Structure 1
Amino acid sequence: MDFTPYYESVSDNPFLEDFYKDQKKWSYHLQTFFLFHRFNSIKRIIDSDDNAILDRSIYEDAEIFARNLYNNGKMSEREFQTYRQIFYTMLEYLKKPDLLIYIKTSVDTVVKRIKKRGRDMEMAVPIEYWKQLDDLYRDWIKDYNQSKVYIVDGDEIDIVENPDYIDKIVQDISELLELENVK
């Protein structure tokens, strides 16, 4: 679709490996780094006025990942409230997205794809963590109202294994965004 992609900061994240070793100690640092990185990406998108796509929304940072860490006692009340203050202050300066693409996928499929991706630090995470995230995602998407939503059935559709699905997804997204001349 000729959108500029913005990816989650994984390989250059100075806290990610430490986080997987000691989540309680590093959760606030990790989430704050992700939030700051995503905020900067969105600011660059706004400043460039280009069509762009983020691989994860900024809303997920606070409402799913930070909340999950807080719910599990891996982020203190003080850290969580400070994080949320930063998050909501940042939101005041951002344009809402035009579309959220939600890939609805079961935990079993997520775990299979994590194993296929092969990141050791992710594969060491207990399945209960992925289940907790899944519960938060399901609750969050029900109330999400920042933009239009396009839901992809991630259990049925795997564009890595079957890239033929891409054309249909691109067409659907183009129609939702009312874009013309999409390849």
Structure 2
Amino acid sequence: MVMDRYQHIVIEGPIGAGKTSLARRLADILWTGNQSARGELLLEKPEDNPFLERFYRDSARYALQTQLFFLFQRLDQLKQLGQKEWFNKPIISDFLLDKDPLFAELTLPSDELALYRQIFNTIQPQTPQPDLVIYLQAQPDTLLERIHRRGNPAESAISLDYLRALCDAYSQFFHHYNAAPVLTVNTSGLNPIDSDEDCALLLQQIKNMRGKREFFNRG
């Protein structure tokens, strides 16, 4: 079983990559019918961020508020990992706190970025690192198409230029990230969310993973 080897799995990737949907799908597959192995889903809640829609329309004005709200929201969620009822439970999450400064560096001017870093470094908790990070990649135009397809009004102002910059920032981050094994998955030719076959291929890739850094590209 995947969760016998990886007790804490994080799904990451830029907006539109499908990280939340994949986290839910893996939880359904790995935990359904096995009550003793059932774990916890730890998911972002972008709909709770009152600044997010305004950020997509006017990033220069609302970037800091948006970023700080997400930071405190994620910190509050991660506090649960230290609670007794969560000990020894498998966890699947759709965010990695270590990646949080990526967005700040992408969107904040230097003075606000310095303030954000000061806050982040002061309050960052010593949370457990995941056993595996699944990093979902896709081309920016593919991400934009997916975003438009799901029709969330809050995301309607997301631009292709922003997605290009975001994809570059993610690539740089995971190029240097070494705190946990990383499986990079090219989702442009793979749909593990809607395709049972593709999901089975991904699960097999996870089971067969041996190194600290592997790539899965169906082509």
- State the TM-score bracket (shorter-chain normalisation): 0.7 to 0.9
Counterpart of 1:67, as a letter, is E
After the TM superposition, which of the residue ranges 143-152 and 164-173 deviates more from structure 2? Answer: 164-173
Q: Distance in 1 between matches of 2:145 and 2:152?
A: 12
Q: Structure 2: any 5+ residue segments left out of the alignment?
A: 1-29, 32-38, 211-219
- What does residue 68 of structure 1 align with? 106
| Correspondence 1:115-126 to 2 at 5 A | 115-126=148-159
Counterpart of 1:42, as a letter, is L
Q: Distance in 1 between matches of 2:116 and 2:64?
A: 8
Task: Give the counterpart of 1:148 among 170, 173, 181.
Answer: 181
- What does residue 73 of structure 2 align with? 37
Q: Distance in 2 between matches of 1:31 and 1:46?
A: 24
Q: Secondary structure at the match of 1:32?
A: helix
**Aligned-residue offset at 1:95:** 1.8
Higher relative contact order (CA 8 A, sep 6+): 2
Contact 1:42 1:94 (C-alpha < 8 Å) held by counterparts: yes
**Aligned-residue offset at 1:24:** 1.8
Q: Percent identity?
A: 30
Counterpart of 1:4, as a letter, is E
Deviations 1:105-145 (A, max 9, x none): 11122112111111133232221000001111111111011
Alignment partner of 1:9 is 2:45: yes
Q: Distance in 2 between matches of 1:152 and 1:140?
A: 15
Counterpart of 1:133, as a letter, is L
- What does residue 131 of structure 1 align with? 164
Counterpart of 1:137, as a letter, is Y
Alignment partner of 1:54 is 2:90: no
- What does residue 83 of structure 1 align with? 116
Total equivalences in the alignment? 171
Q: Distance in 2 between matches of 1:61 and 1:88?
A: 11
Contact 2:49 2:69 (C-alpha < 8 Å) held by counterparts: yes
> CA 1:5–1:89 in 2, change beyond 3 Å: closer, same or farther?
same
Counterpart of 1:170, as a letter, is L
Alignment partner of 1:28 is 2:64: yes
TM-score (norm 2): 0.70
